Amino acid sequence: MREKRAVAGLIIAVILLALILGGCGGSRHLTAPTAAARFVGRATCAGCHSGIDADFSLQAHGLDFLTVHGDQIYGRGGGCAPCHTVGYDEPSGFDPGGSTPHLESIGCEECHGAGGDHASNPSSSNINRVPIAEETCWDCHVSSYKQVRGPVPTITDASLYEKAPGSITIHHPQTIFLLGEYGYEHLSDPGPHALVNNTCVSCHLNPVESATTLGLRNAGHANHGDGALHPDLTTCARCHDSEQQAKSLFEGFEEEMEEQLIELGGEDPSNPGAPDADCGGGLLNSYATTHNIDLDNNSDPDNQYVKNYKGARHNYEYLLHDGSYGTHNPPFAEALLEEARELLSD
């Protein structure tokens, strides 16, 4: 493993730098839209920002959820609506009753705030230019909507008790991963990347120096387009010496994480070289076989081997579904894997 202690000096220097960056970046937040502003929907924004709207259709957030999963915005108790619509649970926001078709799917106002005032009287003072991560990204990129507005629940034997061992999974947990919460069990390790100024936004949407840099530095990608969501190495280079250094660090680390995931869960049969989301191989699979664990039914929840399997599988799924191969929180990622291996060695 890495010699973390030896880089204590670098860590301190880098944290100072992060605070400095945080200082100047923070002043760029503009006035929030007034409380009276109403949600008007993406089509209204497109009336004046048509180029951005066209680009936005190319990025994950701009996809039309309704044509693919529309029934699930209103159906099944509307369980998908909180994170796949505009202004859920806010005044004038998405109405599960069906009266707001213009707010189906994620739109501009999820990041820029309710834009009614701005749309009728365009000005830079009545719209949020730079999204605030804690009030936008953090609400959806968690295992349940607005999970981190309250204390994050911990994962223990009790919280996994009711689940069949093979059904344990955890969707889009990026925020709690970054904060180093929700590992099995009671691991808590807020990582260095939680210090990035306006974390999430600064790495993924690159709002540096000039406001219109969004996505532009990803060659071939337009503003708000597909490339806009993917981190740029110049972001990493702010803290990691140089782009070259950041690239090798990222690639080396990502590779190591991928290898360790495959060792635990096996290789995806339909995508060789990638870890298997079904855990059909690796240490998890052999542990289940050796100890006769019933993956499909929760038939023996008090068995210690079953508990070990569930804990290890939780940590595996957590790292896998975060989607950053540990980059969001490198020390936490390593701790999760170590804990999983330890559980499976009993």
Q: Scanning residues 181 to 220, which ones bind ligand HEC (CB under 6 A)?
A: 192-193, 195-196, 199-201, 203-205, 207, 211-212, 214
Whichever of 65 and 287 has its CB closer to ligand HEC, that residue is 65
- Binding segment toward ligand HEC, per CB under 6 A, in 95-103, 221-229, 263-271, 298-306: 221-229
Cβ-contact 180, 191 below 8 angstroms: yes
Whichever of 140 and 160 has its CB closer to ligand HEC, that residue is 140
In the three-class reduction of DSSP (H, G, I as helix; E, B as strand; rest coil), residue 184 is classed as strand
Rounded Cα gap, residues 302 and 297, in angstroms: 13
29-58 binders of ligand HEC (CB under 6 A): 30, 40, 42, 44-45, 47-49, 52-53, 56
Q: Is 149 in the site for ligand HEC (CB under 6 A)?
A: no
Question: DSSP letters along 71-117, please?
Answer: HHHHSGGGTTHHHHBSSTTSTTS--TTTT-GGGBS--THHHH---HH
Rounded Cα gap, residues 240 and 212, in angstroms: 24
DSSP state, 66?
A: H
Interface pick for ligand HEC out of 174, 308, 315, 329 (rule CB under 6 A): 174
- Binding segment toward ligand HEC, per CB under 6 A, in 127-135, 148-156, 290-298, 311-319: 127-135
**Number of residues in contact with ligand HEC under rule CB under 6 A:** 92
The 89-108 site mask, x for binding ligand HEC (CB under 6 A), equals -----------------xxx
Shortest Cβ distance from residue 239 to ligand HEC (Å)?
A: 3
Whichever of 74 and 253 has its CB closer to ligand HEC, that residue is 253
User: At residue 2, what are phi and psi to the nearest 5 degrees?
Assistant: -75, 155
In the three-class reduction of DSSP (H, G, I as helix; E, B as strand; rest coil), residue 155 is classed as strand
290-329 binders of ligand HEC (CB under 6 A): 323-324, 327-328
Q: Is 221 in the site for ligand HEC (CB under 6 A)?
A: no
Radius of gyration of the chain (CA): 22
Interface pick for ligand HEC out of 180, 225, 227, 238 (rule CB under 6 A): 238
Whichever of 148 and 301 has its CB closer to ligand HEC, that residue is 148
Q: Is 337 in the site for ligand HEC (CB under 6 A)?
A: no
Among candidates 323, 276, 22, which has minimal Cα distance to 177? 323
- Half-sphere exposure of residue 13, counting CA atoms within 13 Å on the CB side? 8
Question: DSSP letters along 317-330, please?
Answer: HHHHHH-STTTTSH
- Binding segment toward ligand HEC, per CB under 6 A, in 231-239, 260-268, 274-282, 286-294: 231-239
